[in-house]
Structure 1
Amino acid sequence: MAYTADKPTSTPSREELRARIPGWGVDLDPKDRPSVPKEQVLPTGAHWDFPERQEELRPRERSIEHQFLTPVFGTSVPLKGLSGAIRRYAYASYSEARAAHWLLLIAADRVDAAGSHLRSFATLRPDNPVTETGVLSELSHHPLRSRFGQKRADVNHLWLDPVIVAGPWAVGAGLAYVAARRLRQAVRRGSPPRE
């Protein structure tokens, strides 16, 4: 069991591991292991058999592989809204070894970022994509010399950067324009005719 002061007792035997895992045990000979002189099993000096657990005030996400949360866990950013629901679903439905788990967490981050951008428009200082993405510094700090001839890996996807950074803003502006235009047309149709 994890998080105890004692060494787990459910360790498989060497023969079981060697039969199950090809190549297991190649470093069992101490001459093949440079860390052997330093490896020692020392008493931990812990005054507990199992550490005190932090109180869980609201349900926390946890992997389906684990029986319970670690004894201490973070609570600074509780889950909220649609992104929180996506994260809960990722933890409740998929193992951390599955790509779906991580793709859902990435999607939840994108949903949270989009929500933060939308909330910024309700403030006195909304997000400014031109200055916050560093586009201006790209133009003023040797854009061509720093990109080409330097064997940089990001040159291959250079053409995608404007799409990823400016694309969502352009789509949002386009949707806002279409919505405003339809609203204006609806208001004109609903107003009484002029005499």
Structure 2
Amino acid sequence: MSSSMPPTPYVANKPKDIPTAEALRARIPGWGVDLDPKDRPSFPREVFDPGSTGAHWEYPEEQQGREGRERSIEHGQLTPVFGTSAPLHGVSGSIRRYAYRYGEGRAAHWLILIFADRVDAWGGHLGSFASLRPDNPITETGVLSEGRRHGIASRLGRRRVDVNHQWLDPIIVGGPWVAATAGAALAARAIARRGRR
């Protein structure tokens, strides 16, 4: 951490009584340990020398196609350059756009994005049935490796942080497949009953 507090552009009420470096060092163990450039391995890279990098601009030219791009409400503008490799599409894209109505500090933002990811995954699963090689939930979800690669033993007695939510994994990954299979079985049963009448 540096001795001067960085600007806080993402909060409405900026702090008026910024503590001094000495006060922070006394209150937070280890605060300011990287103030001396000799203690920072990244220091040579931090030297501002545009001539050595070939940079020839103060602010880069803004990339085209900014309209409709998702942007967190905490940021005043979209970054000058942004990725276009995975554009939003379909129902999952609409859900993701909706998530950006909420700030990144709210659970709603992330839960909606996770839901959009699940919708996108299921769109891919349904699309795979139209191909000659549909998805196989048994081999492609890693369920078989749980028994072959000591999956359960690796979680017990190791103080791993992911064991807190491991009970959710079968529900999130396997639950939709079980529900879809049950739905398909019920639909087939209903069709068979109508055929007998």
Residue 35 of structure 1 corresponds to 34
C-alpha RMSD of the superposition: 3.5
Q: Percent identity?
A: 55
Pair 1:25-2:20 in alignment: yes
Shift of 1:27: 4.3
2:146 pairs, out of 133, 138, 146, with 138
**Bigger radius of gyration, 1 or 2?**
1
Once residues 131 and 10 of structure 1 are traced to their aligned partners in structure 2, the CA distance between those partners, rounded to angstroms, is: 48
Whether the 8 Å contact between 1:27 and 1:33 is mirrored in structure 2 is no
Shift of 1:125: 0.8
Residue 179 of structure 1 corresponds to 187
Consecutive unaligned residues in structure 2, runs of 5 or more: 1-5, 26-30, 38-42
Shift of 1:138: 2.0
Whether the 8 Å contact between 2:99 and 2:112 is mirrored in structure 1 is yes
Shift of 1:67: 2.5
In structure 2, the CA distance between the partners of 1:171 and 1:64, relative to structure 1 (3 Å rule), is same
Shift of 1:61: 0.7
Alignment of 1:64-83 (within 5 A): 64-83=73-92
Residue 69 of structure 2 corresponds to 60
**Number of aligned residues:** 173
Superposition TM-score, scaled by structure 2 size:
0.70
Residue 40 of structure 2 corresponds to none
Residue 89 of structure 1 corresponds to 98
Once residues 179 and 15 of structure 2 are traced to their aligned partners in structure 1, the CA distance between those partners, rounded to angstroms, is: 55
Match for 1:106: what amino acid?
A: I
Once residues 99 and 108 of structure 2 are traced to their aligned partners in structure 1, the CA distance between those partners, rounded to angstroms, is: 8
Once residues 41 and 144 of structure 1 are traced to their aligned partners in structure 2, the CA distance between those partners, rounded to angstroms, is: 48
Residue 117 of structure 1 corresponds to 125
4+ aligned runs moved over 6 Å, structure 1: 8-11
Superposition TM-score, scaled by structure 1 size:
0.71
Higher relative contact order (CA 8 A, sep 6+): 1
Deviations 1:23-69 (A, max 9, x none): x2234899x84433428874545532321111116521111222221
Residue 57 of structure 2 corresponds to 48
Shift of 1:157: 5.3
In structure 2, the CA distance between the partners of 1:27 and 1:90, relative to structure 1 (3 Å rule), is farther
Match for 2:64: what amino acid?
A: E
Once residues 50 and 105 of structure 2 are traced to their aligned partners in structure 1, the CA distance between those partners, rounded to angstroms, is: 31
Match for 1:36: what amino acid?
A: L
Deviations 1:5-38 (A, max 9, x none): xxx9999xxxx8452x5xx2234899x8443342
Shift of 1:96: 1.3
Match for 1:141: what amino acid?
A: R
In structure 2, the CA distance between the partners of 1:10 and 1:160, relative to structure 1 (3 Å rule), is closer
Alignment of 1:132-171 (within 5 A): 132-142=140-150, 145-154=153-162, 159-171=167-179
